[in-house]
Every structure is written in C-alpha cells, then in structure tokens.
Structure 1
Amino acid sequence: MELLADVGGRPGHDCMGFCKYCYFRGVKEVPAFGCQHCPPYQKGCQYCIESVKESYPGFKPVQMVVQSINQTLRFSQEEIKRITISGGGDVSCYPDLEVLTQILTQLEAPIHLGYTSGEGFTSGDEAEYYLNNGVAEVSFTVFATDPALRMEYMHDKTPQAALTNLELFCGSSDVYAAAVLIP
C-alpha cells in the first residue's frame, strides 16, 4: 500500500506566492457541484470541498494529517511500501514538515516528498535532516539552476539554499526533476 500524507495547502498561496509562469495564477473560485454526501437541497459539503474540489483554507495542522494517516492504517492490513507527503502547496513551505517526517519515519517505509520547488528551504542544509529521517524520493521543480533566474521568475528569496538542497537530495535519494520552459 502507498500511504498519502496530505498536508493541504493552496497553490499559489502556500508556496511563497505565484511564480511568473504559474498556471494557477488566473484560476477563479469554483463553487462545489454537489455530491452523494451533500445534505438534501444543498450543493457543497465537507467531502465536496476537501476531497473532490481539493480546496483547503491553507496547510492542515500536523495533528490532522497524522489523524488521517492513523485512520487509514487502522482499516488496512497491507504492508506500507511508500509514504508520500504532498498537498496543494509546496511541501518545503509546510511549517510542520520536520515533525511530520519524524513521525512517519517510525513506519519504516521510504518517504517521498511530493511537489516542491525548494522555496521553503532557507538555510541550504535542510535536506540532510530529511535524508536522515527516511526521505528516499523527491519531486522537485527546478525551473533553473541559475539563482538569478529563480529570483526573477519564481520570486525565490533564497535560491541558493533551494539549489544546495536539491544537490544534497540528488546525491542521496531519487529525484524526479521538472523543468519549466519559458518561450
């Protein structure tokens, strides 16, 4: 079984702001269409908004993420093959990422950090902590290895820290890098 630790978050908001090329930039709020879980004569319920629309007010508290994981584990007897930490924002910006990783490493399964551009990394050595706590895989939007381009297009305040962490991840884990082409 692959376990998902959904940390929530909003694209363009919980990722240090919209990049110049972000396709979420012009997205307008869409009302919930309704589903089988909605009360009679009402469109929109918690399930519609969070599970179908995947709309969150921001990052979820770590307690809520852990509670959701515990609920999944309680109803499954399968062996955990991989744990993915992901959400609507950039996982490197999740304020409780270290705590969550430390909790999940106790499950003794490789951890995959879902989408990150590294903008939440500020010191340049955060990757060491995650690698020492079970992170074996990272999905990283590099955009550019030139710090000036990252600052211009991504509004990355600490581009060198992000790139140093990327290098550390590349040296000790599987990194799935995404590139963005600007015409």
Structure 2
Amino acid sequence: MPSGRLKKESYRTMLACGTPDAVDRYRQAKQAAARAVLEAKTRVWEEFGEAMEEDYCAGGELLTSTEDIVGRWKKYFEDLLNPTDLPSSEEAGAGDSEVDSSITQAEVTEVVHRKLLGGKAPGVDEIRPEYLKSLDVVGLSWLTRLCNIAWRLGTVPHASGVANWGGGPSF
C-alpha cells in the first residue's frame, strides 16, 4: 500500500479510535510518507541534474561560479539586443507598407500598464505580469527593443526556452 494512503487510513483510524496505539501508527505512517516524498524529490532532482549536464555540457563547460554565469548572461543579452545578422529591409518588409516598421515605447507602455492583467500565473517564460508592470522607463525601453528585435526577425522564443532563439547561453 502506498505510504500516502496508509497515512490517510492511519489518520482516520486515529480520529475514530483515539487510542495511543492508533496515534503511534499514524505517527509512523506520517514519517514513512515524509521519507518517501523526500526520496522521490531527491531522485527527481538527481535526474534533473544529470539531464542538465547531458543537455548543456555536451558542447561546452558547465559554469559554476557566479562571476562566470553572470558573464555568460551578459554576453548573451548583449548579442541578443545588438544583433548583427538582421534581415535586410527588403527581406523584412517587402510589400508591407501598411504595417509600421517598429514598435514604439508608447505602445509597449500602454499594453503593459493598461491592458496586461495582473494576478495571473506566469507563462512558459516564468515572467509574472507584475514584473512587467513594475518596469521603469529604462526597463520599458529594453522591453521595447526586445519586441522590435522579435518583430524584425519574425520569430519569438519557443516554449522550450530562449536557448533556441538566437543562440542563447548554454550552461
């Protein structure tokens, strides 16, 4: 019998009987369930770590120091926000004269502050609406630049993450 079900049955018995023996059985079942959860969590984290090493160390080294990790992210965002391989204006907008060629900061500000609903769960990017709503002018400027890069490139990150979008960092 799984430890969770045993814990529930022991709890019900303890409530119904109230004997010291029932209390002791419930305490033991509770401890066994806690051990089973801890073992499962440990196993999952170990599998996750092995998968991360396999996925991200195949082509490079695993970064462990804070300085190296921050440096990798800095280079990634510098490359992302200052692209050198943008499509030419002919490729990007041939025949799209009715569509404006860029997104303005006013448009981004309006969407973030007036149309973005707070109190919602984050998407696959793990960014909560409140984070975007708390951006100052500089943050909104960076967000506008990111939107324009995505607009010009005609692509956005896939649900699998930004590592597939523009050669993101691999750890």
Greater fraction strand: 1
| Fold in common (TM above 0.5) | no
TM-score scaled by length of structure 2: 0.21
Greater fraction helix: 2
